[in-house]
Amino acid sequence: MSRIDGRETAADLAAYTALLEISEGLGLSALLDRPEPFTLDEMMAASALMEPAAGHLLRALLGAGLVEQGQDERHFVPCADMADRRYAAGYLSWSLNANRPYIDHAAEFLRDPDSAGAQYQRDGRRVAVSSRWIGSFGFYPGVVSEITGRKPRRIVDLGAGAGGLLIHLLATLPDSTGLALDLSRAACEEAQRAAQEARVGDRFQVVERSVESLVDDPSPVRDADVIHAGFVMHDVVGRPHVLDGVLRACRSSLADDGCLVVTDAVPYAAGERERAFSALFTYLHSSSMDVRLPTEEDWHEAFRRAGFTKVSSTPLPMPGSRVFVAQD
């Protein structure tokens, strides 16, 4: 009767995302991301669920194929492509969960962005979790290989959040030291804790400050071999003299042969691979976050104004994202 065709990819992605969000909310992501099998008891301990509730959720994860039966009936194994599924889920979760207030109140944001912005905020945890899921393949691997390939002794991460990228870099580069700068006290505390846990705490420094503050006091970036800024510089582009000041502070503080690595999104990337998500990303930043993303040319000009002479720009897998490397 009806054609049963292949168009249900969307149904699979939606189901994986909903079940991964439910599992994340129950504290089960660590179990689902590890390669070792887990037991129902471990699932109950991690989620504080009792039977039959825990078994109920496990049945759904097994049914969906996110988890498979292990070698015996007590053990369960996350599916082999969990990392790919979490990456894909990141896009759905960022677009439809983290940005929910901007979708539900789109008319108000379009008509009166200031008052809508004062009234409706995103949930920081939803933004952080979904951004991390996107980043897992969308931009972290590209940034990490760009930075580790340079074997920097000192790395500074601007807008470091909970420190995930820098901690990973220091674990990979055992002779390097790093500084994480972030405006948020909660993020800084979490970064300090995570660095201790990852045993890089003795090479890891946290500074609770804004990126803008580097204009007046560039000491956090002094003598860095690599300064990284991921999706944070676009917050200051609305004030061009601040952007210029930050870029100049970075350039004059870099060690010899050091470089500034900026990961950010360009507006309305036009290619088929990028255009849909890039359009949503650009629209939401502009309509609801008061951020006009600079174009690739804007970035090149800003780097040149600050005195950088060698600037490259490379697309990363996240549609619209670019990694800029500025030197000299």
| Residue 57 contacts residue 49 (beta carbons within 8 Å) | yes
- Shortest distance, position 11 Cβ to a second copy, whole Å: 4
Q: Rounded to the nearest 5°, which phi and psi values hold at 154?
A: -125, 130
Interaction residues for a second copy, span 52-71 (CB under 8 A):
53-54, 56-57, 59-66
Residues with Cβ < 8 Å from 200, sequence gap 6 or more?
167, 170, 171, 178
Tell me: does residue 11 bind a second copy (CB under 8 A): yes
Number of amino acids touching a second copy (CB under 8 A): 86
Between 30 and 53, whose beta carbon lies closer to a second copy?
53
Tell me: does residue 146 bind a second copy (CB under 8 A): yes
CA–CA dist 299, 229 (Å, integer): 13
CA 99 to chain centre: 14
Interaction residues for a second copy, span 158-177 (CB under 8 A):
none
| Residue 39 contacts residue 50 (beta carbons within 8 Å) | no
Between 134 and 221, whose beta carbon lies closer to a second copy?
134
CA–CA dist 316, 322 (Å, integer): 6
CA–CA dist 139, 165 (Å, integer): 11
Between 95 and 253, whose beta carbon lies closer to a second copy?
95
DSSP string across 317-328:
SSTTEEEEEEE-
Tell me: does residue 127 bind a second copy (CB under 8 A): no
Tell me: does residue 94 bind a second copy (CB under 8 A): yes
Out of 287, 296, 300, 313, the only residue in the binding site for a second copy (CB under 8 A) is 287
Out of 7, 80, 121, 185, the only residue in the binding site for a second copy (CB under 8 A) is 7
CA–CA dist 218, 158 (Å, integer): 12
CA–CA dist 113, 107 (Å, integer): 9
Out of 44, 45, 77, 103, the only residue in the binding site for a second copy (CB under 8 A) is 103
Out of 157, 164, 282, 311, the only residue in the binding site for a second copy (CB under 8 A) is 282
Tell me: does residue 76 bind a second copy (CB under 8 A): no
- Shortest distance, position 324 Cβ to a second copy, whole Å: 12
Q: Count of CB atoms within 10 A of residue 185's CB?
A: 9
Tell me: does residue 316 bind a second copy (CB under 8 A): yes
- Kindly state the DSSP code that residue 306 receives in the 8-state scheme: T
Tell me: does residue 38 bind a second copy (CB under 8 A): no
**Structure-token pair, residue 134:** 């996107």
Site stretch for a second copy (CB under 8 A), options 136-144, 184-192, 204-212, 233-241:
136-144
Give the orientation angle of helix 240-253 with respect to helix 296-305, to 10 degrees.
60
Torsion angle defined by CA atoms of residues 128, 131, 132 and 138, in that order, rounded to the nearest 10 degrees: -170
Strand locations in 202-297 (E) = 204-208, 226-230, 259-265
Tell me: does residue 131 bind a second copy (CB under 8 A): no
Tell me: does residue 50 bind a second copy (CB under 8 A): yes
Tell me: does residue 231 bind a second copy (CB under 8 A): no
**Structure-token pair, residue 15:** 């189901």
Tell me: does residue 93 bind a second copy (CB under 8 A): yes
Site stretch for a second copy (CB under 8 A), options 158-166, 232-240, 256-264, 275-283:
275-283
- Shortest distance, position 186 Cβ to a second copy, whole Å: 21
Tell me: does residue 29 bind a second copy (CB under 8 A): no
- Shortest distance, position 218 Cβ to a second copy, whole Å: 28
Task: Check whether the bond before 52 is cis (ω within 30° of 0).
Answer: yes
- Shortest distance, position 130 Cβ to a second copy, whole Å: 10
